[in-house]
Every structure is written in C-alpha cells, then in structure tokens.
Amino acid sequence: MAFPSTGVLDTFDRANSTTSLGANWTADAYGEGQGSLGVISNTAYSSDATTRSNFWNVADYGPDVEAHCTLSTASSDYIGLGIRLQDTGGAGGDVDGYAVEFQTTSIRVYRLDNTGFTQLGATITISPALANGDGVGAEMSGTTITVYKRVGGTWTSEGTRTDSTYSAAGKIALQIDLNTTRVDDYGGGTIVTSIFPLPDVVGDLRRNAVYRM
Amino acid sequence: MAIAWFICLYKRRISVFGAHVAIRYTAMDDFTLNIGADGGVWSETEVLGNQAVVKVRASVATFATIAATAGFRRLPVDRLNDSLSSLSVAEKLALRTVLTDAGYTLAEVQAALGTDLGTRTLGDVLRFMATRRLKPRYDVLSDTFVLDGAVQACRSVESVDAEVQ
C-alpha cells in the first residue's frame, strides 16, 4: 500500500494568526501545557521560540492511521506528528499514544504514557538532510509504526518500530519546535485500503491530452 | 558482524520536544552511531524495572565497548535457543539476580524457570523477563519518570529476535 493513502486536511490558506491554527485545531496536543501554533503566509508555525502543538479535533482516526505534511521551510528545529492520541484536550499530563519527531537529519519515534515520552528503538539518521519542500509522514498499522520522508515527490520508508501498547483510534496532531520551520499541507486520517486499484487519473489525463493533440 | 543480547537501563535526556520536557530512551541509543558504523542494527523490548532487553548486530569490538559501559550487561549466550547449561554457578546466580532486581519475586522466577537456570535456554529467561512492565509517567514537579502505573504487556522477544538477524 502506497503512502500516504489519505489527502490533505489543512492547507493553512488563511489570515495570519500568532495564537490560533483555526477552528479544527486544539492547542496542547500532548498535554504539556503548550500554546497553539499559528498561521503565517499560509503555513503553520510556532510564533515564538517555544514548542507549540495542536491536535486535529474533528474526529478520532484509526486504529490504522497516518499523518503527513510538507516542510515548506525546513530547519534544524523539530516538528512532530502525533497519532493514536488518547485523552487529548484534558487537564494535561495524561495523554497516551505515539509521536514521531522529525529533524532535517534524524527521526525519533516515541510512545506517550501519561504525557511521558519513551523513545522506541534507535534514532534514525536521514541522509541527505531534508530541505524546503520535502515531506514527512508516519503511519501506524496494527503494531507497526512506519516513518517516511518525501523527497522529489517520492515517499520512502525510513524505518519501522513495533509497539502494541495503544491499539485504539485517536487524534492526530502537529507540533513545531521554535519559530523557523514552516509546515504546509497537513494531512492524515484513517488509512484507506482499497481492494481495487486506484484509477490512474494523471495517466488518463496525459493519455487524453496526447490523443487530442 | 556478530549477534549479542544485552540488558540495559532506560536513561533520561532533555527532549528536543521543547526544553522543558524530558524523555526516556534505551541507553543502547548512546551506541547507535557505533552500531550503524559497523553496518549493524539493534532492537529492544521494554521490560520490568526500567530496563530493556536489546538484541544487537555489530562488530565484536563494539560489543566489547558496550559491555564495558556502566549500566549494560551482556548476556552470556547469543541465541534464544542456546542452553544456559554451560554457565557457572556464579553466572547463573547473577542472571537470577537480574530477574529479581527487575522486580520479579524469587517465587515467580522459580515457578517459571525452576531452581536451576542451567536447565533453561536464553529464550526461556528473556521471555520470562518480558512477562510484564509498568506504565511510566512523567512527574513534572520532580522532573522524573515514575514507573508506578498499570501492568503492561511487553513486546515479544520473538519480535525483537526477528528484527535483528
């Protein structure tokens, strides 16, 4: 199954804000007391030199779930993608689930237990470093978490981790560390499995175009 | 390249997820670059006692470096079906102490593995060690991880074994 199977949920194409990511987002995805991400120039960002996070409050997704986004402006600061998050939006300190942290040269996968982060396995090294316009993503299918990068329009797996602690559907989230990185085209949701091959829409258009010429 | 099993502690470091949040990580991650330079790999299962059972594929020299580091214990045989019959009395006692130090009672150990570990395999001991763990939490006030939560299942030793060949 190709990654991603889900489309973009938010392009952040709206007015700038230092304190809100929009009505579909709620601040403090991991119960750490973090403020909300904001919007600048149609991208998501952290409006100050802190880590900020939001979860997508529209629905729970999964249990087989994915999240992905584009690094409009990549930097050495980290971004995080949360999946299968439970107990988000409460008083804090009790969020369970999984988070994947991407830096331009490394990836770390975490399990959250009551907002405590435990790294699963080794730190994954990315080479060459991620650059502006590249994408990052994560999916959890069953007990396997797979992390991805997108370079030149092609998604590739960068590694897997196994954990069976949290198996229920949950929220998906976005976290950005400090205020240099810009994120665009956040997507995700329940992994879509199709028993039929998806139509090759682009190919059809190309063939049609040639035919008409 | 060779295979070895280790037991090591979880450590704490300030997360890149904001300077005020600490994270737990398997101490083996301190050797990820060494293992990677060998062309090797490692995988772990979290077990009772804030510890991980870790299988590593790396060079013999890297194994020696890891084993010489405080907080790491290399297990005396390398394959799950290797018998522990060759262990000395002192080695078997040390291995049993690893289990009781993790939080299992001597009665639990003996009920599962008998009174002589020499009749068992490495896999028997590791599967017992991965019987359970406790859910951790981060205590903001003391800035520490506390393992006093509900009993959790561990990732199977077979899964770890299969990932590192």
Q: How does pLDDT run across B18-76, given as a tens digit for each residue?
A: 545 789 999 999 999 999 999 999 999 999 999 999 999 999 999 999 999 999 999 99
User: The pTM is what?
Assistant: 0.91
Closest residue in B to A93 (Cα) is B138
- Average pLDDT on A19-41 reads 94
Q: Which residues pair with A175 in a beta bridge?
A: A53, A80
Q: What's B54's DSSP letter?
A: E
Distance CA B53, CA B147 (A): 17
Position A202 pLDDT exceeds 60: no
More confident residue, B10 or A202: B10
CA distance A50 to chain B (A): 7
Distance CA A61, CA A53 (A): 18
Contact A165 B152 (CB under 8 A): yes
Among the partner-chain residues A30, A113, A163, the one whose CB lies closest to the CB of B135 is: A113
The ipTM (two decimal places) reads: 0.92
Helix (H, G, I), strand (E, B) or coil at B37: helix
Which of A30, A95, A119 best tests the B interface by mutation, with the highest count of B CBs <10 A? Answer: A119
How sure is the predictor about B17, in pLDDT bands with cuts at 50, 70 and 90? low
Distance CA A105, CA A78 (A): 10
CA distance B24 to chain A (A): 5
Q: How high is the mean pLDDT of chain A? A: 90
Largest interatomic CA distance in chain B: 49
Geometric angle at alpha carbon A141, from A140 and A142, rounded to 5°:
115
Percent of chain A clearing pLDDT 90 (strictly above): 79
- Characterize the bridge pairing of strands A106-113 and A65-73: unpaired
pLDDT of A201 reads: 47
- Characterize the bridge pairing of strands B22-26 and A116-119: parallel
Contact A118 B46 (CB under 8 A): yes
Position A210 pLDDT exceeds 90: no
In chain A, what residues touch B138 (CB-CB under 8 Å)?
Answer: 93, 114-117
Q: A143-157, B6-20, B123-137: lowest mean pLDDT where?
A: B6-20
pLDDT of A212 reads: 43
Helix (H, G, I), strand (E, B) or coil at A77: coil
Distance CA B25, CA A105 (A): 19
In chain B, what residues touch A116 (CB-CB under 8 Å)?
Answer: 24, 136-138, 145
How sure is the predictor about A196, in pLDDT bands with cuts at 50, 70 and 90? low
